[in-house]
């Protein structure tokens, strides 16, 4: 059993910073640094485009995550008054952020005239650095306990004041540790374009499909989002094979 410890703010002298927000910013900075460092190491010339793509996906992801949170918390109110998303601050939903960021990135690349293969390569590199940064963000969720699930007798259950409950943020944080290590090990060798995009969709989507069964409301849209993530991963690997067949010598990512 995990002892209950809640840390919502971090004191730096007279300044108190919100833990979740601070870790979220840290995750974004770390992801951007690793990504641009990787681009330079590969000797590629799209470092500027990659930096802008990160910003586009970040803005699109945060906006979509907010919309998903507001809409799915009360779908009837959202359908009756869609403008509620502009007047309400209720947090974010990660699945909305992932899909929204991906869509924003694809649209931006299309508008910029970037080829399909190069777009896929850039998305693959972003996915490569994603698990570690996502892990940093989920640490914030685990510390503030904002994703509480069903009662549990598991060794990972947290001893909340109201009883032993699953902390979904903590469980996901623990899962992302070996996933980050796996990506780091696999990234030591050249991989086909789309390899990490597909692998993340399959592994993370499959994990979230299981994790959603631990929620108070186990099934419904979140479970569907997990399956959509797995389908996106499979589609990524299909695209990977397509580009490999068309350009076998240019497949290194």
* Better-predicted residue by pLDDT, 86 or 222: 86
> Which residue, among 192, 191, 144, has the nearest Cα to 169 in the 3D structure?
144
> pLDDT tens digits for 97-147?
899 999 999 999 999 999 999 999 999 999 999 999 999 999 999 999 988
CA–CA distance, 45 with 113 (Å, rounded to integer)? 16
**Cβ atoms of residues 57 and 122 within 8 Å:** no
* Better-predicted residue by pLDDT, 45 or 158: 158
CA–CA distance, 149 with 217 (Å, rounded to integer)? 9
> Which residue, among 125, 35, 63, 78, has the nearest Cα to 221 in the 3D structure?
78
pLDDT given at position 251: 40
CA–CA distance, 39 with 163 (Å, rounded to integer)? 48
Which of 88-92, 182-186, 211-215 has the weakest average pLDDT?
88-92
Following CA atoms 177, 227, 78, 64 in sequence, which dihedral angle do they give, to the nearest 10 degrees?
50
> pLDDT tens digits for 184-209?
999 999 899 999 999 999 999 999 98
Long-range pairs for 68-73: beta carbons < 8 A, 24 or more residues apart: 68/92, 68/93, 68/95, 68/96, 68/97, 68/100, 69/93, 69/96, 72/96, 72/221
pTM of this prediction?
A: 0.87
Which of 36-45, 76-85, 91-100, 179-188 has the weakest average pLDDT?
76-85
CB atoms within 10 A of CB 249: 6
DSSP string, 63-116: HHHHHHHHHHH-HHHHHH-GGGGGT------HHHHHHHHHHHHHHHHHHTT--H
Q: What is the mean pLDDT of the chain?
A: 86
Averaged pLDDT, 61-67: 87
Which of 76-85, 107-116, 198-207, 215-224 has the weakest average pLDDT?
215-224
Residue 252 has pLDDT above 50, yes or no: no
Residue 183 has pLDDT above 60, yes or no: yes
Residue 213 has pLDDT above 70, yes or no: yes
Residue 228 has pLDDT above 60, yes or no: yes
**Cβ atoms of residues 211 and 171 within 8 Å:** yes
pLDDT given at position 49: 87
- Could you tell me what percent of the chain has a pLDDT over 70? 88
DSSP reduced 3-state for 161: coil
CA–CA distance, 185 with 171 (Å, rounded to integer)? 22
Which of 3-12, 84-93, 204-213, 234-243 has the weakest average pLDDT?
84-93
Considering Cα of 233, then 66, then 152, then 218, what sign does the dihedral take? negative
**Cβ atoms of residues 62 and 96 within 8 Å:** no
* Better-predicted residue by pLDDT, 169 or 251: 169
């Amino acid at each position: 059993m995990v002892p209950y410890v809640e840390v919502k703010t971090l004191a730096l002298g007279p300044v108190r910073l919100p833990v979740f927000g601070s870790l979220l910013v840290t995750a974004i900075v770390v992801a951007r640094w690793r990504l641009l460092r990787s681009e330079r190491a590969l000797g590629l010339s799209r470092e500027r485009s990659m930096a802008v793509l990160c910003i586009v996906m970040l803005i699109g992801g945060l906006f979509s995550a907010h919309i998903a949170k507001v809409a799915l918390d009360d779908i009837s109110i959202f359908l009756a008054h869609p403008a509620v998303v502009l007047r309400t601050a209720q947090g974010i939903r990660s699945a909305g952020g992932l899909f929204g960021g991906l869509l924003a990135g694809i649209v931006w690349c299309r508008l910029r005239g970037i080829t399909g293969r190069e777009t896929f390569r850039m998305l693959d590199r972003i996915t490569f650095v994603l698990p570690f940064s996502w892990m940093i963000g989920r640490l914030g969720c685990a510390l503030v306990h904002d994703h509480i699930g069903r009662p549990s007798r598991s060794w990972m259950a947290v001893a909340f004041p109201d009883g032993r409950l699953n902390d979904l943020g903590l469980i996901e944080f623990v899962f992302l540790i070996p996933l980050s290590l796996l990506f780091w090990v696999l990234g030591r060798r050249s991989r086909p374009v789309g390899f990490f995009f597909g692998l993340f969709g399959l592994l993370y989507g499959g994990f979230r499909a299981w994790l959603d069964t631990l929620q108070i409301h186990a099934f419904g849209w979140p479970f569907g989002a997990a399956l959509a993530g797995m389908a996106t991963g499979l589609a990524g690997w299909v695209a990977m094979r397509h580009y490999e067949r068309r350009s076998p010598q240019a497949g290194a990512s």
